[in-house]
Structure 1
């Protein structure tokens, strides 16, 4: 049976590995460049073809992945003059793998369906390493019929695929997932500063936390910056963490949630981005909090 043609927009840290696994699993792949050509050139060598716009990708694709920064970028790629809607095939499926605002997601669902297509949200968990290995986690919002069609493609780049139900639930769950992750980052950063002020080194702190019940995969990659200055271990920008927490604040407002802890977490990332350090990675929040406490980064 002929495999569907897959379009992929957003071959950055996560998208490059995802797209690589799709083409290596025998799917025809169409992609496009944004700011850098390295990933696109690599994918072309592996068998992909290149388009010049989202419209061109849509004209050639049965299933289109979007893996971009957030809702403004998703909306621009779908609604733009040369966007996906301008070239969408009847019955085509758009999969938004970005961490997006669920309010925007539901609006786009209606617009895509009016154009004869379908939308699924399948945001990601884990890191570029797992994206390259094809072992990401994804939480999916889609109708049962759409999920059945996209599941084999998701299996190319994900080791854990959870179908939560209707469109929008994937993005809602992703915001909760990132709330926990960004919360860990804020907690670890503040705890490390208090430890140093109290006469404990980061190494002593780690010697107790790492082997104990409070350790986890996030902790392990987060601490690689503080302990080893490995800036590539946890490549997730402060600006993205702040963006995700703003989206979650919007969701909290929409559902009437009381969210004092989430507000505090958001403000940790807001403060670092406001200080001009939004492009640094989340583990480097520990340096920012250290400086706020009068400490030099260790």
Structure 2
């Protein structure tokens, strides 16, 4: 039986599909709007309630999910006179954003004396998976708290992995994104070298697709490269830079030498620094080509 009231902040590319599945499972849902009104209005049309502030949303909720850009945005909706914490009620906050693990652990410790539990539950896969309820989720938190929120998360997730205490979900997410964004940087550079050598992207794809180096990330990346479908992989270069910057800061905090992660970050820093932050990750292939005097495909 559904008993918990759910709040949701961040009904964007991923969040709208997630929130829609929560509603479909019968949970009472409150959402908070942002600049894009269309997702909020669509959810309200399905039975959700709109809250004017995080504080008001917290007062109407038992569990609040956040699906925002990163740690700065998470702190903005939790702290302050109109933040979630200001409601003064016992609350479980599930941060599905890709955040800095060190910020997550500090924030969890600060909130605990106020009766607020913070769990990190970042996501993997695509907006399409959010709508289909097939996301992968990495959860950091105490076992009892994870057990409480798991039924809600399973409305939009196919695979849920408990990674350990709070903060480990965000750490694992950074490692996951290091691998995927590292592939993106490698693909872009390999395509540029192939183009300089007279090898087309189609030939490249014929060799890689179906082989040991193929994977779903490769397939969405190359759906743009081959088919020029700009919406095939909707993750911005600006967000890629944020995530790789978080990873490098995390490595520094651990005293670790991480030459590969530093190189990957610089690929995305170049893209953002040349004015392409709003473009999607597969478009890095065009940017690296252009920097080497080559036309886009």
Q: Does 1:247 align with 2:250?
A: no
TM-score norm. by structure 2 comes to 0.99
Q: Distance in 2 between matches of 1:80 and 1:186?
A: 38
Task: Name the structure 2 match of 1:276.
Answer: 275
Asked if 1:181 corresponds to 2:154, the answer is no
Q: Are 2:97 and 1:102 equivalent residues in the alignment?
A: no
Q: Does the alignment pair 1:37 with 2:37? A: yes
Taking the aligned partners of 2:18 and 2:24, their CA distance within structure 1 comes to 10
**2:159 aligns to what SS in structure 1?**
strand
Task: Summarize the alignment of residues 2-17 of structure 1 with structure 2, pairs less than 5 Å apart.
Answer: 2-17=2-17
Determine if the alignment matches structure 1 residue 220 to structure 2 residue 219. Answer: yes
- Kept in 2, the 8 Å contact 1:61–1:89? The answer is no
2:71 and 2:145 mapped to 1: Cα distance? Answer: 21
Corresponding residue for residue 207 of structure 1 = 206
Contact 1:112 1:118 in 2 (8 A): yes
Q: Aligned pair in 2 of structure 1 residues 110, 210: CA closer, same or farther (>3 Å)?
A: same
Q: Structure 2: how far apart are the matches of 1:56 and 1:36?
A: 20
Q: Is the contact between residue 3 and residue 27 of structure 1 (CA under 8 Å) also seen in structure 2?
A: yes
Moved more, 173-182 or 104-113: 104-113
- 1:148-167 aligned at under 5 Å gives the runs 148-167=147-166
User: 1:188-212 CA distances to partner (integer Å, 9 max, x unpaired)?
Assistant: 0000000110111000110000121
User: Partners of 2:143 and 2:178 in 1: how far apart?
Assistant: 28
Report the CA distance between 1:25 and its aligned residue: 0.3
> Paired residue for 2:20?
20
Structure 1 residues 88 and 135: alpha-carbon distance in aligned structure 2, compared to 1, 3 A threshold:
farther
2:141 equivalent to 1:142: yes
With 108-117 and 280-289 compared, the bigger mean Cα shift is at 108-117
CA–CA separation in structure 2 for the residues paired with 1:8 and 1:122: 14
TM-score (norm 1): 0.98
Aligned mates of 2:255, 2:203 — CA distance in 1? 42
| Deviations 1:127-173 (CA, angstroms, capped at 9, x unpaired) | 00000111100000010110110010010010000001100000000
How many positions carry a matched residue from both structures? 297
Q: Which runs of 4+ in 1 moved over 6 A?
A: none
| Residue in 2 that maps onto 1:111 | 110
Q: 1:88 offset after TM fit, Å?
A: 4.4
Structure 1 Cα separation of the partners of residues 13 and 2 of structure 2: 29
Q: Residue 286 of structure 1 aligns with which residue? A: 285
Give the equivalent residue in structure 2 for 1:78.
78
2:121 is the counterpart of 1:122: yes
The 10-residue stretch of structure 1 (233-242 or 40-49) with the greater mean CA deviation from structure 2: 40-49
Question: Unaligned 5+ residue runs, structure 1?
Answer: none
Q: How much has 1:80 moved relative to structure 2?
A: 2.4
Give the whole-Å Cα distance in 1 for the aligned partners of 2:43 and 2:2.
Answer: 21
- Is 1:196 the counterpart of 2:195 in the alignment? yes
Rounded to whole Å, the distance in 2 between the matches of 1:271 and 1:200 is 25
